[in-house]
Structures are given as structure tokens and as C-alpha cells.
Amino acid sequence: MKIAIDIDGVLLDIIITYCEIYNKRYGTNYKKNDVVKWDFFADWNMDEETGFKIFFEIYADSQSIPFIDDDAPKIMKKLNERYDLDIVSARVPEYRSSIIDKLESHNIMAGIQYTEMILLHHRPYDIKLKQKYDLYVDDNPNLVEPIKKMKNRTLLLFDQPWNKNSVCEDNVHRVYNWEEVQEKIFDL
């Protein structure tokens, strides 16, 4: 089985750092829980380009982003021993060394916790499905409906405020932490 693990929203709480930068810049007081949509830019009166500028700044220096779940490294190691686990992220490839440093600082190492790191462009929103994986661990609600039509694939939707409205059924399961990621995968 080939498994694709996402970075942002699954390993790293990037949106917390995003809100901090945005608030400082624009005098607002947004919190992670205010981000209830994948494309929240419009609600915050930003165009996508301005919105992504902040993401790119964080991609360039990721050290301060909070790590989501301390169980992740040992579970990833176990999964990568038993299956084939890749990190698949829509962080653009230019920022590869920054994300490798950040993940290494949390004990997520190439050859141990994962096999390969695949970095893709963020458009179209379901670009990851062009890669052939059996199972995705991802917080992106745009993957939910397309995967429901791909019966030989599975999505573990990592619970986040921006995917609460996604209906998880059939081959799409909602998970709340890494312990549940492991349980679900072992159950399949």
C-alpha cells in the first residue's frame, strides 16, 4: 500500500502562524478557528495572491510553526516499515530545504519516517490525486468528493475547522489525531 501524508494541517499547524502574521500586519485578531473555509482569503478581503504571499513567507522560514501531534514520528516510522509512506505536499518545490529542516527538527527523517517527499503546486486543489496513492492523510476538503468516486482509494480527512462541513462516508474517514490515523490504517 502506498500512503501519502500531507504536511500542513496534518503535521504542522501552519494556520496558527498564518493568523499571527496576518494579525500583526493588518491589525486584526483572527484565530485558527476563524478559518472555516479552504479559500478564506475572500472572507478576509484579500485576493489569492496577497493571501499566498504570507504562505510563501512561512514556507521560506517554517521553524516557528507548531507541530500538531507528538505521536506522529513514531507512528510514521511504523507505517513506513510496513507500507510505503511518502510525504506529499502542495508546498511549492522551491522551499524544499526549509521544510526538510523543520521536519527533521521534529524527528521526521527521510528513509525512516518517510520514503520520498513529493512537493507539488497548490493548483488545482485536487492535484494530489494525479499521484497514484492508495491512501491519503490530508486536511484538504477539496479531496473528499473526488476520492468518493475513486473506490480503490481511501482518504483519512484530518479534522480541521476548514473541513468540518465535509461529509465523511464510504472511503472517506474523519480522524482527529495520529493515534486514529494508525488505527484506521491497521483496520483497513
Residues lying near Mg ion in the complex (CB under 5 A) are found at: 6, 8-9, 139
Nearest approach in angstroms of CB 36 to Mg ion is 15
- The smaller minimum CB distance to Mg ion, of residues 75 and 143, is found at 143
- The smaller minimum CB distance to Mg ion, of residues 9 and 45, is found at 9
- To which residue does cell 497548490 refer? 122
Nearest approach in angstroms of CB 157 to Mg ion is 10
As a whole number of Å, the CA-based R_g of the chain is: 16
- The smaller minimum CB distance to Mg ion, of residues 38 and 111, is found at 38
Query: Taking Cα atoms as reference points, which of 160, 165, 136 lies closest to residue 13?
Result: 160
- The smaller minimum CB distance to Mg ion, of residues 82 and 131, is found at 131
State the residue number with the nearest CB to Mg ion.
9
CA dist., res. 65 & res. 4, Å (int)? 21
For residue 39, the tally of other CB atoms under 10 A from its CB is: 11
Buried-state track 4-29, b at ≥16 Cβ within 10 A, e below 16: bbbbbbbbbbbbebbbeebeeeeeee
What is the amino acid identity at position 141? P
Torsion angle of the four alpha carbons 140, 173, 181, 136, in this order, in degrees rounded to the nearest 10:
-50
Nearest approach in angstroms of CB 89 to Mg ion is 7
Nearest approach in angstroms of CB 118 to Mg ion is 13
- The smaller minimum CB distance to Mg ion, of residues 88 and 187, is found at 88
Name the helix (H) or strand (E) containing 89: strand 84-89
